[in-house]
Structure 1
Amino acid sequence: MKTKEGLGLLGIVFFFLGALQCVSQSTASRAQEIASHAHQAQEFLKERRPDLAIPEFRAIVALDPNNVDARGNLGVLLFFQGDYPAAIPHLRAALKLRPTLWRMQALLGMAERRTGSSKSALADLEKAFPKLQEDKIQIEAGMELIEIHAGAGDLDKAAATVSALRSRYPTNVEVLYTSYRIYSDLAGEAMLSLSLVAPTSARMHQVMAHELEKHGDEQAAIRNYREALKLDPQLPGLHFELAEMLNASSLASEQREAETEYKAALAVNQFDERAEFRLGDISSRRGDVQEAYAHYSRAVQLQPNDAEANIGLAKVLMLMNQPDKAEPLLQRAVQLDPTSAAAHFRLSTLYRQAGRTADATRELEEYQKYKELKEKLRDIYHDMRVVPAKQEGEVTDVRQ
């Protein structure tokens, strides 16, 4: 009896051993098949034939649904083939297996948006965007986010994404254009809201003045500034903005009035560095070096990082025969604004007077380069009928 039981037990053991061997052979065979498909897929990708690589990755997924590499590659290839509905389940599966695949999450968000699932797209893109390392994919993900927010009327969130992109890609053309568009939309939205909430307020007249100035209607802009001041003469910044318009006027009477308005700006805000700087310009133009020195000195004291104020103070110090004090101010101005033609020109003059020929030549070349660049920009602004901001060096100075 025991012998029969022993033979029966031995048969069971042999059965399981045989079954395990079959499983082992089956697993090994499947692994080899997966490896073969993976190798073939890579060969097709090297040949730039994603259309042929896709079936190979599909075969791997059929053999091993939890193969994260195959899932991810298949999702990415389908995405770039434009087959977004087919790409989505594979990208989701890859993310479920490995949640830190930020690039795939960004692609998933883009695919979801392009198939009408904006809510899911927003969640995936917001999660992936700050984690992305590749420039191209981060820009594309950011642009998608901006479009979602703008489409939903949430311009504040769109602007926040724009700000993040601009801080990392300050010279990217698409980022700059999108910045312009979103900020313009924000400005338009704010202006519309202001016109509904306070259509006859001083701020509304101030906004209208800005718009009129932008479109070259200086006299209408000045009238709106004056109207705003009638309504609220203590409004911060208003006297200075009117003074800027008057200072740029071709009428001598309005240019004289500008000085009064700059002083009024200082009466409202004694720390208005820009008004101090402009008063220094006015004093310099009429040849009052000591008064110009006082205004420019005060401006630099209030705002040491204002390149134009540093140039202005250096200018009067050179007139006062103090080049040693002027030089560090001009060097500082160039550090603050390397494109300042005025700073390079004055440094060239200072170096030439000191006998530093090589330094003078270098600064003169920089002056010519940036002068030509700014003249081109002025022509562009003119063609666009937009008035460029006045900068130091553009104001006639009889003591230059």
Structure 2
Amino acid sequence: MRKIDALIPERGRPDRAALGAHDPDALARYVLDTGNAWWRRHICAQTLAGRVPPARIPGLADRIRDRREPAEVRIALLEALADRSELLPWLRAHDPEQDGDHGMPEAVLTARGRLGDPTAARPLATLADSYLERWRKAGEAGLDGLVEHHGVEAVLAALGEERPEDRRFALRLRHRAGQDVTAYLADPDRGVAHLAQSLAGDPDRLLAFLDGTPPLEAAVRAACALHRLTGDRARTRRIDERLGSPRTEVAGLDEEVRRALVHAYAPSCERRSDPRWRLEALVTEPPGRPDPAARLARATEALASAGLDPGPAVPVGDPDEYGEQDEYDDQDDGVAHRITCPGLDVVFVSGLGRFVTGRGDDRHPARRPLEEAGFRWIDGPTGRVEVTGLYLLSASGSRGPRPLATLLF
């Protein structure tokens, strides 16, 4: 046992190569001994995949069933015993409400799929539709296990196509088989249509699709997919013009602000976004952005010339001198800077253009000197405009359209 401890030191990385060559019976006995550190037992359990001694299977299966066991150890053992059909009755009876910590429900679902449990198909499809890559891969692994046991058509028949997540899985299977997936560009669910856009790989099929009469959003997605494959911006612009240059209209959003947002966010917006934002980014020129350091220096100089005694510019997201963060925290770091003037509310300087704002009343003392220096003040009503159809992942993990002020600052 001391040798295993030495291979998994408290500090530094475990020697996985040596553990992979270690006696599997000794590793299994180490895992079964709950007196050993759980994190070492977890690593040992991971190294048992594909080489579990038959005599140790019942005891290790008991460790999986024991809710007092750390979830990490149980999940690793589920991987190691992935082919043990005797676990299936317990897996089917598993109650995620009673045993739902640290990924156990997801691991149980994946194991059911790998063991061929057809009743796991629909929840696995839901898991495979997750925004989180970890769960998406777990769901897909379970569905792939079902396909191995029952075949593609049987699994697709069990799922049907009523739910978006079921169509997403069908799309993935058809793409894997080399079949045409362009029809899915017109799926009513934007998540499914976005996946089709990312998987479409034949320019000729996309051109033929565009020559038909697809719905507008599907045509926009085909244009974006074609651009991804060919990089032909001139053709993308011609297609955009032929489609009537479709745009997501947002009341109160003028051209200057719109261009800044389009080129900052549309290329990486979430899968449920309106695809017209992405096409607009492909066919329009990005706004010229002066050096960020020069912009901040100009703002600081304007404030200083007005006698407002500005402090240093600090990136939004960094806590202030009181350990508090500002109202625009729910945004990626580096989008804007804040400048504090003694006795005044904070001034925010956007990293996306010449946009500035301040908390509180729009008669902020900093407004006039900044406007005279060429900046554009974003007032309260303008800042509250919701930019519809542009779904973004926030720092807190939420998704959806957000107000203009949050996007700029």
TM-score tier (shorter): 0.3 to 0.5
More helix by share: 1
More strand by share: 2
Question: Structure 2-normalised TM-score?
Answer: 0.35
Which protein has the larger Cα radius of gyration, Structure 1 or Structure 2? Answer: 1
Question: Structure 1-normalised TM-score?
Answer: 0.35
Higher relative contact order (CA 8 A, sep 6+): 2
